Amino acid sequence: MTVRLFSGGRECFVSAFVARFVANVCRAVAGSLKAPPAQGRIEFVLDEGRVELRVDGASVALDGRQGFASSIVEDTLRGMVGRLKGVDPEGPLRVEVEL
């Protein structure tokens, strides 16, 4: 699995341990939502209170009806990577996982 992490539009270094950890959490989060099973790629984008999830290029709705899920996803991802070097814990964030 390959993980790319972007904070504020800049790519951040991700060690092998962190990559495995982030990939497993992202797979579990996507799998617990109403999303199709991921075959190749999972992408989360967090920006200005908006949470987007794409599984294999298809967008998964996390709209107002799923506000709780959106909040949990944002809190989980920001909490997981917020202390990594180069990551702004409150700024735009994108996590890409290649399975």
pLDDT digits (tens, 9 = 90+) for 28-52: 999 988 788 999 999 999 999 899 9
What gap in Å lies between CA 33 and CA 56, rounded to an integer?
A: 15
More confident residue, 54 or 61: 54
What amino acid is encoded at 54 in this protein?
R
**Are the C-beta atoms of 74 and 51 separated by less than 8 Å?**
yes
11-24 tens-digit pLDDT: 999 999 999 999 99
Residue 41: how many CB atoms within 10 A of its CB? 14
Q: C-alpha dihedral over 13, 33, 59, 67, to 10 degrees?
A: -90
- Asked whether the beta carbons of 37 and 58 are under 8 A apart, the reply is no
